[in-house]
Chain A
Amino acid sequence: MSDALTPEDVKKIARLARLEVPEGDLERVGRELSAILGYAERLQGLDLEGVEPMAHVGDQMNRLDADEPGEAFDNQTVMGLAPDGLEPFIRVPRVLGEGGGA
């Protein structure tokens, strides 16, 4: 059984997931995730030698569509969904240069 997730571990996972776990919840969340992972570790006791991983049951992989234009939404419809739209743009905080964070 691996060690329980520490508050630092949870912070790291949250950063990867683009979520913010409040400081006061880190320990509880770590405990809950560790309980689930601990349960999942029973799989490592199965005899899985030589078994190929199966990500999908479908026998047909990557069916390709013909490269033809089909129906599409008009710009207005799509842009209308953006919470901070400024047609034909979407407004976001500065990305490049000083203050760009992403």
Chain B
Amino acid sequence: MTPPHDGFPGLVELARLVASKEVGSAELVKQALERAHTSAGLNAFVSLFDEDALARAHRIDERVAAGEDVGPLAGVPIALKDNICLDRGRTTCASRFLEHYESPFSATAARRLEEAGAVVIGKTNLDEFAMGSSCEHSAFGACRNPWDQTRVPGGSSGGSASAVAAGVVALALGSDTGGSIRQPASLCGIVGFKPTYGRISRWGLVAFASSLDQIGPMTRSVEDAALAFGVMAGFDPKDSTSSESAPPPDLMESLGEAPKQARVAVPKQARGAGVDSRTLAVFEEAVRSLEGAGVKVEEVDLAHTEAGIAAYYLVATAEASSNLARFDGIRYGRRADGETLEDVYVRSRSEGFGPEVQRRILLGTHVLSSGYYDAYYNTALKTRRVIKAGYDAVFGQGFDAVLSPACPSPAFGIGEKLGSDDPLALYYEDVFTVGANLAGLPGVTVPAGFTPPPNGLPVGVQLVGPAFAERSLLQLASLAERALGVERRVAVSN
């Protein structure tokens, strides 16, 4: 069941090397930092913690030398999306507003990874406040796709996807509000896993849309995603929406168990208009491979797939307008001068937020405002329930997962969709991913293949499972990973 790793060892192997003293953590961290610096043109990182990471790696090596068990991620270099707080360095959300913000605490997810032995080497680029699907809406410049640097890595967790696909780290955290882990994973040819809503604490994740946000791992294999998920998952009293149900204890051991008579549903909308023919070709090949591996694939009607985009953009922007009200220039972040308190608020926000963030705050403010609430926000919430019911019905028929392309097209050119002056062009990227957020379900992207030469761009497929069924979803993803057999996960040679 060894996952393909392209000459780049995964988390399990790296931690084993460190724990068995075959390779020092300091050596791994140094290598990762070197690779991060030599691939600086990708603009995948907002900050790198060279000295701090090396110092921590040395301490881990000392503990290993002293015979201590340093944890399942012993000394492995990792990266965090820069909307996840760490108690050192800056947490910018790729925004001018938080350009110099230093968080006094670490997110629960980050703390749990560090307690398991991981070493954070840096913070990765994103669309400002995680609002975007291309990683072009960053105050620090667009991030690039390592498979083709003229193209976007997807977003919003584009920096994390780019760093993993460039072989810098084997694990980077992302956050997923409408597809921000799964879509960039697809565009960069890696695994991206958004667990069930509430599985991983959101404490220390800068909130975009609180009822949709979820942290998750971006890795080169399903096995690595499962390991990182297992470390991070579980109840956290600091997050009031954290689930109290215990995560599966035998996740890693059970990963190779092929689900008996697995049945997956393909929504007919997955083959609908608007899906790029190259993406569709890879998808159909993936369906055949899964069938060849004994998975029963049947078509279903997930009627409200496209309505999901509208519902999502109303719900997400409404919540964002409320969440981002905290950025007032008074207690932290950017402060502009003003004659009155009101002026300080308005100027700090108008100078600090980029155009896409402002657009979404305006939209969210409007849909929540008196006279429009029912027509927009409330209608979106009703649609949300209908969308969840659609998934429930599919799972109620005994399907283990819903299978679709992760997103409708392979990586597009930098500037290609931004220049179109039509925000909807970019929003359509999320057509297959928003449903899992609206319904709170776990979803995972697995690399499925590449578009034909000369471009050879990665394409991923997505599996969405029932709530809290991560164990069987990851088993299925692992089976898919083996059946689809995509060897290359890294865009450069080692």
What is the size category of the interface that chain B forms with chain A?
35 or more
Interface string of A26-67 (1 = CB under 8 A from B): 000100110111011111101010011111111010110100
Instruction: Report the Cα distance A55→B316, complex, angstroms.
Output: 11
Q: With an 8 A cutoff between CB atoms, is B177 at the interface?
A: no
Q: Are A43 and B331 in contact (CB under 8 A)?
A: no
Chain B interface main SS type: helix
Q: Which of A18, A39, A43, A63 has the most CB of B within 10 A?
A: A18
Q: Are B334 and A83 in contact (CB under 8 A)?
A: yes
Query: Which residue on chain A has the smallest CB distance to residue B198?
Result: A58
Chain A interface main SS type: loop
CB-CB under 8 A from A21, the residues of chain B are 358, 362
Q: Are A43 and B335 in contact (CB under 8 A)?
A: no
Q: Are B340 and A102 in contact (CB under 8 A)?
A: yes
Q: Are A19 and B338 in contact (CB under 8 A)?
A: no
Closest 7 CB pairs of A and B: A101-B340, A57-B440, A53-B381, A83-B335, A54-B385, A81-B332, A102-B341
Interface string of A71-83 (1 = CB under 8 A from B): 0010001100111
A contacts, CB < 8 Å to B:
2, 5, 10, 13-14, 16-21, 29, 32-33, 35-37, 39-44, 46, 48, 51-58, 60, 62-63, 65, 73, 77-78, 81-84, 90, 92-95, 99-102
CB-CB under 8 A from B353, the residues of chain A are 19
A13: which of B338, B339, B366, B379 is its contact (CB, 8 Å)? Answer: B366
Q: With an 8 A cutoff between CB atoms, is B388 at the interface?
A: yes
Interface string of B407-424 (1 = CB under 8 A from A): 000000000000001111
CB-CB under 8 A from B330, the residues of chain A are 82-83, 90, 92
Q: Are A32 and B347 in contact (CB under 8 A)?
A: no
Q: Are A36 and B363 in contact (CB under 8 A)?
A: yes
Q: Are A18 and B345 in contact (CB under 8 A)?
A: yes
CB-CB under 8 A from A17, the residues of chain B are 321, 349, 361-362, 365
B380: which of A5, A20, A40, A95 is its contact (CB, 8 Å)? Answer: A40
Q: With an 8 A cutoff between CB atoms, is B304 at the interface?
A: yes
Q: With an 8 A cutoff between CB atoms, is B56 at the interface?
A: no
A40-B380, A63-B240 given; A101·B341 CB < 8 A? yes
Query: Which residue on chain A has the smallest CB distance to residue B383?
Result: A43
Instruction: Report the Cα distance A84→B341, complex, angstroms.
Output: 13
Instruction: Report the Cα distance A19→B363, complex, angstroms.
Output: 12
Query: Which residue on chain A has the smallest CB distance to residue B315?
Result: A55
CB-CB under 8 A from A54, the residues of chain B are 381-382, 384-385, 388
Q: Are A14 and B313 in contact (CB under 8 A)?
A: no
Q: Are B422 and A35 in contact (CB under 8 A)?
A: yes
Q: Are B386 and A46 in contact (CB under 8 A)?
A: yes
Q: Are B240 and A99 in contact (CB under 8 A)?
A: no
A48: which of B339, B382, B424 is its contact (CB, 8 Å)? Answer: B382
Instruction: Report the Cα distance A5→B329, complex, angstroms.
Output: 29
CB-CB under 8 A from B314, the residues of chain A are 40, 43
